[in-house]
A and B are shown apart, each in its own frame.
Chain A
Amino acid sequence: MTQLRDPAMKLLDSQRRTPWRGAVRRVGFIAPAAVIVILALIALFPSFFASFFGNGDPRFCDLGSSAEGPTRGHPFGFDLQGCDVYANVIFGTQSSLGVGLLTAVMSTTVAVVVGIIAGYRGGVVDWVLSRLTDVFLGFPFLLGAIVVLTTIGSRTIVSVSLVLALFSWPLQARLMRTSTRTVRGADFVRAAITMGVPTYRILVRYILPNAITPVLVIAAISVGSVIIAESSLTYLGIGLEPPTISWGLQLANGSAHFIRSPHMLVFPALFLATTIISIIVLGDTLRSALDPRRQR
């Protein structure tokens, strides 16, 4: 029995060998990728972007224009202190995006390692790791963060992210454990065991790619809640070193005056929402591009 390569199959093959090229051409990739590149540029060169409307200094505040709406030269209006909201949003990108992404990467890494080991090994290992997860899950987040941050003293983006990651990995770890347990029972894993495939290879090549999807979705969504959590810490004075500018802090301040001057909340929130949606859409596109089952 010989199967000749028909043209349709050739097309399928060429698409498959370069899943990245296929993904790159999609709107679902281009649009969010462009947004994230722009945000990254903003984070790296805030003063360049802030000076677009002629008032690029986030620290230049005039109490006389407190909480005023958008005007010429100040497209997003002023906050309670009379500072330019646009300049603050631009300068806040660095710390917010930094904390958000760094925390997501750290917590997901820990979660995947803990979850996959607990889920695959089961038994005593699973019990110990699961109870450890429960302890962190049950610990009051703010209390824990206060204790840790006051103890370590340093309050940079990295240390704040570390603290946030310390308390955000347990949920993802539980998720990873559950999906690992589902995949572990699959016939292809049992087949791998009977073939004598080493455990490490089973974990990395068989279980991880088939179990990680739900965790990645939660990780992308968690970026948003981490940015908010950073603001709570900064608001309490134990977050980033003052005088700090971050989206979270702006949101926290703006929310108190939302009825009277909604622009203080709406513009930073818009940036936050755009960031999160871009990350989620990008993740989704890449996932389907790299998953052989969803290629068309």
Chain B
Amino acid sequence: MTETLLSVNDLSVTFDIDGTPQTVVPGISFDIAVNEVLAVVGESGSGKSVTAMALLGLLPRNATITGSATLHGTEMIGLSDTERKQRLGSSAAMIFQDPAAALNPLFSIGFQLAESVRSHTPGLSRAEAHQRVLELLALVEFPDPANKITNYPHQLSGGQCQRVVIAMALAGDPDLLIADEPTTALDVTVQAEILDVLRRMRNRLRSSILLITHDMGVVADIADRVIVMRQGAIMETAPVDELFHTPTHDYTRELLQAVPQIGKRPSAITTKARTSKEQGPNAPEPRPVLEVEDLVVEYRRRGRGFKAVDGVNLSIQPGEILAIVGESGSGKSTTALATIGLAPVTSGTVRILGKSFADSGHSELRSLRERIGVVFQNPATSLNPRFTVRNAVAEPLRIHRGMRGRGLYDVVDELLANVGLGGGWGERYPHELSGGQRQRVAIARAVALKPDVLIADEPTSALDVSVQARVLDVFRELQKELGFACLFISHDLAVVDSLSDRVAVMQQGRVVEQGSRSQVFGSPITDYTRQLLNAAPLPDPIAQRARRQARAS
């Protein structure tokens, strides 16, 4: 049988928080075989990252670790700092989530790689170290390593940075690679490349990977075996095919169901716009709520102009959900910011209900803002930490409707109840809520004035899948009830597919494809859209394997 590389036995982690002990991981056991990819999945707060950090001794001082973890028969828990330093890198290495933050911006990538190469093999000459760095870069399929070696991290793309980070982790020939959400910060197309690199590398080096992720698609793509964690405990351990096709635990089933998938839109969902369109071709075309014409947003950087948005045309009918999809840097968020007057519009017009921000006076601007609701990406930062939930939602009503006292709070409580936060939640502060609850508060605030149009910039990308599913449900219900039009920005095609009426695909500041949802996802015209659709890994190992082979051939 296969040889066991890492064996974790009854590992528990307890944090001492202001004198009160809090057990985050109450004692878990698992093994990793040589040359195996073990994925640990779970939602945020499930203890998956803490477990990995405990193995490497990277937890802060207020953590107490008990139990045992043996790597090649050597105990990893309770090592002294010097012993750990010797072991780290040569037996286990870590790949971090954000490649840009894991590299030092002041040194070239060649220098940083040589540094880690030399620290693992002291006494290497300059030339030898250089040779080894080139080897490592070739191993992670870094394009043109010989020339790019003098580049600094900011000159590289996110995917290239992540390759450098992986190369760095490989510098000490580790038997075990711990990858903590290695592709979460990357675009889908880049994610696919990085996963390919990891897969090929593991075949070549016979190393094992402990992959921590929340993305079922990534799990299906690369893992051999899967551990499902929840609240520090292991719910289920199973080989990947078994887990996806015959999950035994209820929680696993829940998780899998929460993953949105392209083409699996629940048929019950219809938005107002579609029903109104079905009235027939004779119905007069209503006036669009939001019109964007030849929008150009140009930022100046050191004298050079940079067009973040380059001639975008969009229009949204009342009650319609238009989604903009694209990778990071495609200008989708800037377009959204321009529609709410937060980005400098160089040329072109943005009209909301026929009025444009640019030629509105002070009072007109105010009444215009009353008609637009905005939901930001990160609910942790979009609520004032000094306001209670009730005050946060009351703010727009206070300002635009001049409401006060009892009447105001009745309306606010009703709004909160609509997003599933009835009862005593109003008196709480944002930091006492979970991410999903905060985002529901943000949505309640955005719809408080019954806006005609809602601008939502990646409203669910900072949330866990099951939480995302709940927030999207709330969103759909409110849309049905209030019938607002919506500009929905997202990089997640599956989410867009489950929600939108029409889709616009953006690339490098331009809209490359626009059409109805079924048209764009069913029969895409451009290669770029097809590429995007293919890059997102399917949460089904067998289908994903077939797709990977199709892509390779």
Contacts and interface: CB of A to CB of B under 8 A. Distances in A.
Nearest to A292: B429
B158 to A, nearest CB: 22
B384 interface: yes
Contacts of B442: 191
A194 B372 contact: yes
Contacts of B131: none
Contacts of B424: 3-5, 9, 13
A189 to B, nearest CB: 8
A292 B431 contact: yes
B142 interface: no
A193 B423 contact: no
Given A1-B420, A191-B374, A194-B342, A209 B18 contact: no
A252 to B, nearest CB: 43
A190 B340 CA distance: 10
A206 B399 CA distance: 14
B369 A195 contact: yes
A196 B384 contact: no
A296 B387 CA distance: 17
Contacts of B370: 196
A190 B342 contact: yes
B366 interface: yes
A296 B19 CA distance: 12
A103 B383 CA distance: 35
Interface string B367-410: 00110101011100111111110000001100110000000000
Interface in B307-355: 340-342
A188 B382 contact: yes
A3 B385 contact: no
B384 A188 contact: yes
B374 A194 contact: yes
A15 to B, nearest CB: 11
Given A190-B342, A196-B369, A206-B384, A4 B423 contact: yes
Interface string B419-440: 0111111011101100000000
B240 to A, nearest CB: 34
A125 interface: no
A103 B427 CA distance: 38
A223 to B, nearest CB: 26
B542 interface: no
A132 interface: no
A188 B429 contact: no
A205 B388 CA distance: 12
A74 interface: no
Contact of B384 (A2, A13, A205): A205
B365 interface: yes
Interface in B506-545: none
7 contacts: A188-B385, A191-B382, A194-B340, A194-B342, A196-B396, A206-B386, A210-B384
Interface of B: 18, 340-342, 365-366, 369-370, 372, 374, 376-378, 381-388, 395-396, 399-400, 420-425, 427-429, 431-432, 442, 445
Given A3-B422, A188-B382, A190-B376, 16 more contacts: A2-B422, A4-B423, A13-B427, A187-B377, A187-B382, A188-B385, A191-B442, A192-B395, A196-B366, A196-B396, A201-B399, A205-B384, A209-B386, A292-B385, A293-B385, A293-B429
Interface of A: 1-5, 9, 12-13, 16, 186-188, 190-198, 201, 205-206, 209-210, 291-293, 296
